[in-house]
Structure 1
Amino acid sequence: MSARAIVLGLGTAITTFLLAGAATIELLGAGEAPGIGIIGVFVGFVAGLLAGGITGVYADRLPGIAASALHAYAAFGIAFLAIAGLRYVNVPSADAVFTFPVHVGASLVIAIGIGLVVARERLTERTTAA
């Protein structure tokens, strides 16, 4: 298992935790009962552990576009967490700049950018090897 596979597994676990937890909370009716948030966090945690573990084992075996998509998916969670960290430690003007739509949009732009860079690198490796 390479360091890249571990980082991809961690990023995938974070992204899956965020998406599965938020989806569970919304599907169960956010705000109607205090236990819904706890259930959402638990579902996100379990789903994130499973996705991160599976990704860590199989990340090195993915070819081409699947690897690019995995890099983009993992990058979204890491970027989202990094921006949330900036807001949490009260970096000046971070709360004013990174409203929730901007926070999600910036994370998406970073994820798409990383996916495109990885796709280009894989394409370059394939053409120089041939």
Structure 2
Amino acid sequence: MTISVLGSQYGESPGVGILGLFSGVVAGLIAAVVVGVTADRFEGWAASALVAYGTFGAAFLGIAGVQYVNVPGADDLFAFRIHLLTSLLLAVVVAGVDHRGRA
């Protein structure tokens, strides 16, 4: 997200990529710590929401990684809106499957 926002304003400079990579790693680490520390404290929908949160972060970073390494067609396929919606859809599906598995 940082690369998309700053890239539209400052172009494709190496500094934008480095800043985007750093902020993505920090966001991913925060998500991993939150999920790891609190995962066993929740039950039911709260646990499934936590799984959704972790899934969203992993999916978002995974798609961003595919775009970052310039997989052919990834930039055209995953415009920012599609990138965000795909990550959200995966999170909802995984949370639903997780919730059904806990019931």
Q: TM-score under structure 2 normalisation?
A: 0.68
Out of 44, 56, 64, the position equivalent to 2:36 is 56
Corresponding residue to 2:89 among 109, 115, 127: 109
Alpha-carbon RMSD across the aligned residues, in angstroms, is 2.7
Identity of aligned residues (%): 45
Please give the TM-score of this superposition, normalised by the length of structure 1: 0.55
Q: How many residues align?
A: 85
Unpaired segments ≥5 residues, structure 1:
1-17, 26-30, 32-37, 124-130
Task: From the superposition, tell whether residues 82 and 53 of structure 1 become closer, same or farther in structure 2 (CA, over 3 Å).
Answer: closer
Could you say if the C-alpha distance between residues 94 and 54 of structure 1 is closer, same or farther in structure 2, counting changes exceeding 3 Å? closer
When Rg is computed on C-alpha atoms for both structures, the one with the higher figure is: 1
Detail structure 1 runs of 4+ shifted over 4 Å in the superposition.
Answer: none
Partners of 2:48 and 2:74 in 1: CA distance: 30
Mapped partners of 2:65, 2:85: distance in 1: 16
Q: Distance in 2 between matches of 1:93 and 1:114?
A: 26
Q: Tell me how far apart the structure 1 counterparts of residues 92 and 75 of structure 2 sit (CA, whole Å).
A: 23
